[in-house]
Structure 1
Amino acid sequence: MLQYIVRKGDTLARIAAAHGLAPENVIHGNPWAAAQPYLYPGQVLFLPAIQRRRHAAQDGESARDVADLYGVSIDALIMLNPRLSPDGSCTPGTILVIPPSERTAIVKMRGEYGPRELGDDIGRLTAKYPFISTGTIGASVLGQPLHLLRIGTGSRCLHVNAAIHANEWLTSPCLLSFLEQYADAYADGRKWNGHSPEDWFSNWTLWAVPMANPDGVELVQEGAGPGHPYRRELTEWNSGRRSFRHWKANIRGVDLGDQFPAFWDEEQSRRGAAGPSPRDYGGPSPLSEPEAAALAELCEKAPPDMAVSLHSQGQEIYWNYRGYEPPESRELAERLAKAGGYRAVTLTESDAGFKDWFIMKFGKPGFTVELGLGRNPLPLEDFEGMALETGLILASILSG
């Protein structure tokens, strides 16, 4: 057993991924960890030796068949199984050790996806694809950068943001994964699921804010341990609960999804949250929070032709707002829903959201896309499916 001392930012999933394990392997060696909402710096974990995958060769199965089955190279398979015959044939029943799957993508799950992972991936993406430009639109309450990425040179502009709600952080890598796949296909001059990234690049400029609430995301994933500047307040606002997995708001207990000046007063009355809380408190005034104000300022400086805010969950697309939406919005929503296998939903009695403000302010199509299905935070294993759905929906806009 390997002894591991927990550091700041560590979670069960991150530690497991770094050591080639599943979270269940870590819990098996440290059963008390399952009862804690978070790990604490200084705690000692005992990690089991890596248990590699194995495969019993079937009748007529070759080493290459096994390599293809598990998505690994034949050379890597032979390296771990030096007794394989030169022609790659396998005697039925031979036990083969399977190497780790080869993942060439930059954006992938290495445990929870937080501000640190986002910053690292943005650096790698812009180094590999210099035509992706990056910057910031401001900073969070705790001073973390609100990253902005841009791709394309077209005259039409699409704004996409993600992770306005803290426990919906899986939307961030979904958006960034699509940007990576777009950039990779454009660089190679090939199609992406039947669409032309070259046409996207020349017709549209895509502005992406992949994590609008980094402080809240970090709180959900890591908690408010000793030394956190808002620890006392967060504990009070969270009614003494130690887990923040359900938290939607920013670090000051303000729900950024209720922060925009679109019938803000009515939304506050409807929600009934009088002060900071895990969700539904719209703040002391519209755009009081730097994260919401930065999103609004970005759109006001250069009004996009269309906007999408990625949330989770429900597999639904909301497209209307009090009749302010342009006539084409319904048809667009139905097209996007068809592309992603979702439902286009007419929403009522909901105000002060980013989509609501965008539609009312600019009179242009705006959409809230509820990715995935289940309970937030959605599980890591949902990432690949949700990332594909994100891409198919955004591709439908860029190809329109």
Structure 2
Amino acid sequence: MPELKDYFSIVPENVAYSSALNRSIVEELKRRYPFLVTGTIGNSVMGREIPYISIGTGKKQLFYSAAYHANEWITTPVLLKFVEDYARAYANDLSLGEAQAERLFEEYQLFVVPMVNPDGVDLVNGMLEVEGYLKQARQIAADYPQIPFPQGWKANINGVDLNLQFPAGWEKAREIKFAQGYTTPAPRDYVGSAPLTEPESIAVYEFTRVHDFLLILAYHTQGETIYWKYADYNPEKSYEIAQYFGRVSGYTVEETPAESGNAGYKDWFIQEYNRPGYTIEVGKGVNPLPLSQFPQIYRDNFGILLGGMLNI
């Protein structure tokens, strides 16, 4: 994609993210590219907005989301940068990878939620300043001293894992996680008292229900792995698309491990709609991954993000 002389990137790649930064980037993208549609899918426990961006006017709807887990926030700029690259290409009549941005814009409507868990991201990155919630998080973490605080925090601010909240094998997930010792609110792996108790997971659920998504990507870290299956469901083209994603990214394509193969957003989407849904685990190492990995992560995932549209 050719560089434009007057172009400067809105999406920073070298700073820790926060809910406020995510929101301001969404607003700035909208200002520069007025054809983007922005809004919120709901609010977090602490009342923070959960912004979305939509690009395109086509009939085929897709949904990409990230940062369900607080210490996996590096996935947020991955989605924001893709939106920026796509919007810039469309605005300047350029190609986006191997596709003409104008054709994508006319054929697809892509919805993106870059940060599902704003409270948790703020906690992990030291930007949570509301003393009551900070005290609550410390008390939750104290019950699980083996998990480093706050770096090991994946949950929302209530200590519920947002990717264990969906009504697809939730009871099985509860059985597994309780057996692992996560029986109370925790920095990670606590399923909650029931499915869909948390406002963030409810917001994703309801946003999905009012749209007609043909394919979803849910972004996580780490492992450079693509998970494509839930239970015995095998949506049409699902495995073939997963193999395509593997080829363009270099990531391995696997079935979800049994200990984490239930109650996720991808699991529910596949069960509910019998359409392709994927969990993408980017990067390698210990969460939160260092920003030094971001350029490689984005290069690896550009083909997946573009390929979601090209293959549906």
Query: In the alignment, what sits opposite 2:175?
Result: 269
Query: In the alignment, what sits opposite 1:288?
Result: 197
Please give the alpha-carbon distance, in whole angstroms, between the structure 1 residues aligned to 2:102 and 2:253: 28
In the alignment, is residue 231 of structure 1 matched against residue 142 of structure 2? Answer: no
Q: TM-score, normalization: structure 1?
A: 0.72
| Aligned positions of 1:113-192 closer than 5 A | 113-192=17-96
- Residues 224 and 121 of structure 1: CA distance in aligned 2, closer, same or farther (over 3 Å): closer
Q: Which string of whole-angstrom CA distances, capped at 9 and with x for unpartnered residues, describes residues 241-282 of structure 1?
A: 683011000000000010000010110110111110010001
- Residues 103 and 113 of structure 1: CA distance in aligned 2, closer, same or farther (over 3 Å): farther
Deviation of residue 302 (structure 1)?
1.3
Q: Find 1:211's aligned residue among 115, 130, 134.
A: 115
Please give the alpha-carbon distance, in whole angstroms, between the structure 1 residues aligned to 2:210 and 2:307: 26
In the alignment, is residue 297 of structure 1 matched against residue 206 of structure 2? Answer: yes
Q: Which aligned runs of 4 or more in structure 1 are off by greater than 4 angstroms?
A: none
Does the aligned pair in 2 maintain the 1:317–1:368 contact within 8 Å? Answer: yes
Please give the alpha-carbon distance, in whole angstroms, between the structure 2 residues aligned to 1:212 and 1:255: 12
Please give the alpha-carbon distance, in whole angstroms, between the structure 1 residues aligned to 2:212 and 2:234: 15
Does the aligned pair in 2 maintain the 1:325–1:360 contact within 8 Å? Answer: no
SS at match of 1:229: helix
| Aligned positions of 1:67-82 closer than 5 A | none
Please give the alpha-carbon distance, in whole angstroms, between the structure 2 residues aligned to 1:109 and 1:193: 20
Q: Find 2:289's aligned residue among 375, 378, 392.
A: 378
SS at match of 1:335: helix
Which one scores higher on RCO, CA 8 angstroms, separation ≥ 6? 2
Any gaps of 5 or more consecutive residues in structure 2? none
Please give the alpha-carbon distance, in whole angstroms, between the structure 1 residues aligned to 2:297 and 2:12: 12
Amino acid aligned to 1:140: S
Of structures 1 and 2, the larger Rg is shown by 1
- Alignment root-mean-square deviation, CA: 1.9
Amino acid aligned to 1:108: P
Per mean C-alpha deviation after superposition, the further-off stretch among 131-140 and 389-398 is 389-398
Q: TM-score, normalization: structure 2?
A: 0.92
Q: Which string of whole-angstrom CA distances, capped at 9 and with x for unpartnered residues, describes residues 200-237 of structure 1?
A: 11111001111000000000000666x52223322221
Does the aligned pair in 1 maintain the 2:18–2:127 contact within 8 Å? Answer: no
Deviation of residue 385 (structure 1)?
1.9
SS at match of 1:167: helix
Query: In the alignment, what sits opposite 2:252?
Result: 343
SS at match of 2:157: coil
Please give the alpha-carbon distance, in whole angstroms, between the structure 1 residues aligned to 2:65 and 2:90: 22
Query: In the alignment, what sits opposite 1:61?
Result: none
In the alignment, is residue 105 of structure 1 matched against residue 9 of structure 2? Answer: yes
Query: In the alignment, what sits opposite 2:276?
Result: 365
Deviation of residue 110 (structure 1)?
4.8
Q: Find 1:390's aligned residue among 294, 298, 301.
A: 301
Deviation of residue 389 (structure 1)?
2.4
How many matched pairs?
300
